[in-house]
Structure 1
Amino acid sequence: MAQFKAAVVGLGQIGLTYDLDPKRERPSSHSVAYSLHPDIELVAAADVNREQGKVLHSLVPKARFYQSLPELLKNHTPDIISICTSPVHHLPAIQYILDNSTAKIIFCEKPLVHFLQEAVLLKKTFKDSACLLVPNLSRRWNNGMQQVKKEVASGKYGELQKIHVKYTRGIYNTGAHIFDLIHWWVGQIDQVQVIYRVDTSADADDDPSFTFTFRIGDKITGFAEAFNDKQYYMFEMDLYFSKGKISIRNSGDEVSYYCVGDHPLFSGFNSLNLERQEGKLLADANLANAISNLANVLAGIEQPRCTVDDSIYPLYVAQALLQSYNNNFSLERVE
C-alpha cells in the first residue's frame, strides 16, 4: 500500500495530457508521475471540463475524478496536491487548500502566481504554515542541468563572460526557466533592456515574448532572442567562458562542453573544441525526479530542490522587462 496520497487540480497538458504524446518521455504529467511512484497513490483529480475525466480514467484508472476542488477535498485527504491550472487561478486554489485541507505539500506549476504582488503575499502566508509550497521549476530536478551547475562552479572553463539565449513562448512561461537557470547557475540578473517584441502562441495567455539584452554584475553580458513558435519551437542557451563554452540544445535534452584548444585551420589562434556531449537528458524525467524528491520530503529525508524564493525571482525579471517595453525600451534595473 502506498505511503502517501496525492491529488491533481487542473488536467490540461502538464496536469495530464502531455502523457498522451508518444514523443514525450513518461511521465510528462503530474497525474502519471504520481501514479508511477511506488510510495504515492493518485487518489483524485479535478478539472472543470468533464471530458478530462475520461482521459484521466484511460491513463490512471483508479483515480477519482471531480469537477471542482471543494468536491475533491470533501472526499479525500491527500498529503500532496498539485496545482496545474492557469496562473490566474493559482492563488485562490492555494488559499482554499490551506483553509480546507491537511495537505503537507502544495506542488504548484510555474509561474507560481499571476502577479508579483501575489507572490509576496503567498510568501507571508506560508511563513508560519505547516504546509510546504513547492513551485515546479522543472529543470531544477534534471540531473543534466545539475551537472551544468557543477561545471560552472568548478571554474574549469574560466570566467563566464557572455550568455546567449534563444527561446519561444513568453517571459513568464519559458522565461521562468531561463531566469531561474541563470540565477541558479550564475547569479541574479541586474538589468535588462528590451529591443523588440515577437509574436508567439503565449500572447493568448497575456505572456509577451521579447528580444532583450541583460547584465549580471560588471563582467557578464547577455542577449536573449525570441522566436515565433508558430514557425518552430526554440529553447537554447550558450554560456561563453574565457576557456570554453557550454551549449544547451533541444530544450535541455543535449548539453555540449567545449574547451579552448589550437585552431584546426589558422596558426596562432585558439578554437572551441568539443570535449564531450551528453544527450537524452530529458529521458531522466524531470517530473519523476520531482515527485521522488517530494516523497522524500514527506518522509523527512530530503529538502525540496526548489523554493518559493526561487520561483518569485523570475517574476522580478519579467516585471523589469515589461517596464522596459512600456517605457520605450528603457534600460531597467531588476529590483
Structure 2
Amino acid sequence: MSQYKAAVVGLGQIGLTYDFDPKRESPSAHVSAYQLNSCIELVAATDIRIDQGQALHKIAPAVPFYQSMEELLKNHSVDIISVCTPPAHHLSAIQYILQNTDTRIIFCEKPLVSSVDEANLLKQQLKKGNCRLIPNLSRRWNSGMQRVKTHIAKGQYGELQKIHVKYTRGINNTGSHLFDLLHWWGGKISEVQALKKIKTSADYDSDPSYTFAFLIDKNILGFAEAFDDEQYYLFEIDLYFSNGKIEIRNSGDDVLYYQVGEHHLYTGFKSLYLERFENQLLSESNLGNAVNHLVNILDGLEHPLCTVEHGVYPLYVAEPLIRSFNNHCSKERVRLQ
C-alpha cells in the first residue's frame, strides 16, 4: 500500500479537540483521522497556541509540534496538508502552501475562504499549479447522504418540488453544509430572500442566521428557518417529491424515506407512508471516509468528490442573503462568477 505524509495546520476543534469529546465518533478531527489511516503518516502539526502542543501529544505523542506553518514546512515535505485555522486565515495559508511547497492535496475546512472576492482570487491562483484543493464539506463523505443523492438522481420518488429546512449557527458555518447539500441534491439556488434574523452562537463570529426563502432552478421552492442553538441544536431537511418524501433528522444521523399510498381516511386521496428508516448514520466517521478518499485520489483510483467550485459555492449564496436582509428583505439573485 502507498504511504503518504500529512500535516495539520490549526489544532482547534476540527483539527484536534473534537476527539476529546466522548459523545463523538472517532475520528472526528483531522489529527486522529490521519493517525488511524494505515496509508498515512502524520509527520507534524502546528498551532499558534503552545498549549495545543500538549493537547496534540495526548493523541499523537511522537508527532512534532510547531507554532508556525512556515517552520513546519521548512522541516517537512508532505503530500497532504489540512488547513483547520479560522476562515479569515485560509486564503493566506493556501497561498503560502501553493507558492512554497510541492504539496499534492490541501484539505481545507469550510468555509473555504471568507468572501466572494477571495473565492475568485483563489480560483485564479489554483489554475497555475498541480496541487488539488479539496474542501471538507463533510456530509459529502457520509454514505447515508450519498444514498439520498442516488435516490434523487434516479427519480425514485418522482420530481423534487419543495424543500423545508431547520438549522442553527450561521449562514457561513452551518450554511456551508446546507447550501452544498441543496446544490448537490437539487441544483443551483437562483434566488434568495431573507425574512428575519435570528440570534445564535454564530453571532460571536459575525456569522448571521436568517430565516429565508429560496428558489432552486426556477421551479423548486424552499424555506429555511433559523433557530437559536442556545435553546437547542437543529439541522433538519425535508425534501418533498411528487411521489414521496425524504426526511433528514438529527443532524443527518437519521434518514426517513416515505412513499405514496392510498389515504387511510379519505377515498380518492393519497398519503405518505414510511417506507424505510436509516439511523446511526453518523456512527461512521465522515472524516475517516474523507481521508480514505484522499488516499484513493493520490493512488489514482478516484476523482475528487468535492471540488473548489463546490467549496466556494456557499459564499455565492450567503452574500445575496446578507444583501437581502440589509435591503429590507428584498429578493436577490444568486450569481455565480
TM-score, normalised by the number of residues in structure 1: 0.98
Match of 1:148 in 2: 148
Shift >6 Å, 4+ stretches: none
Give, in angstroms, the shift of residue 219 of structure 1: 2.3
Give, in angstroms, the shift of residue 2 of structure 1: 6.8
- Measure the CA separation in 2 of the matches of 1:136 and 1:148: 19
Give, in angstroms, the shift of residue 264 of structure 1: 2.7
Are 1:222 and 2:222 matched, yes or no? yes
Q: Which segment is superposed worse, 319-328 or 97-106?
A: 97-106
SS at match of 2:65: strand
What is the letter of the counterpart of residue 276 of structure 2? R
Give, in angstroms, the shift of residue 100 of structure 1: 2.0
Give, in angstroms, the shift of residue 322 of structure 1: 0.7
Deviations 1:186-212 (A, max 9, x none): 100110101100011111111100000
Are 1:322 and 2:322 matched, yes or no? yes
The aligned runs of 1:228-243 (5 Å cut-off) are: 228-243=228-243
CA contact (8 A) 1:187 1:216 kept: yes
Match of 2:255 in 1: 255
What are the ranges of 5 or more consecutive residues in structure 2 without an aligned counterpart? none
SS at match of 2:189: coil
- Measure the CA separation in 1 of the matches of 2:154 and 2:196: 36
What is the letter of the counterpart of residue 205 of structure 2? D
Give, in angstroms, the shift of residue 268 of structure 1: 3.1
Match of 1:304 in 2: 304
Q: Which segment is superposed worse, 214-223 or 9-18?
A: 214-223
CA contact (8 A) 1:163 1:220 kept: yes
SS at match of 1:329: coil
Are 1:52 and 2:52 matched, yes or no? yes
Count of residue pairs the alignment pairs up: 335
**Seq. identity, %:** 63
CA contact (8 A) 2:190 2:218 kept: no
The aligned runs of 1:1-335 (5 Å cut-off) are: 3-335=3-335
Give, in angstroms, the shift of residue 300 of structure 1: 1.8
- Measure the CA separation in 2 of the matches of 1:169 and 1:129: 35
SS at match of 2:44: strand
CA contact (8 A) 1:80 1:103 kept: yes
CA contact (8 A) 2:167 2:174 kept: yes
What is the letter of the counterpart of residue 176 of structure 1? S
SS at match of 2:45: strand
- Measure the CA separation in 1 of the matches of 2:89 and 2:128: 23
- Measure the CA separation in 2 of the matches of 1:152 and 1:258: 13
CA contact (8 A) 1:9 1:83 kept: yes
Deviations 1:38-68 (A, max 9, x none): 0001111100111111111001122111111
What is the letter of the counterpart of residue 33 of structure 1? A
What is the letter of the counterpart of residue 114 of structure 1? S
Deviations 1:189-238 (A, max 9, x none): 11010110001111111110000001113321000000000111100000
- Compute the RMSD of aligned alpha carbons: 1.1
SS at match of 1:190: strand
SS at match of 2:130: coil
CA contact (8 A) 1:2 1:38 kept: no
CA contact (8 A) 1:2 1:41 kept: no
Give, in angstroms, the shift of residue 140 of structure 1: 1.0
What is the letter of the counterpart of residue 29 of structure 2? S
Deviations 1:247-269 (A, max 9, x none): 00011111000001122333332
CA contact (8 A) 1:238 1:246 kept: yes
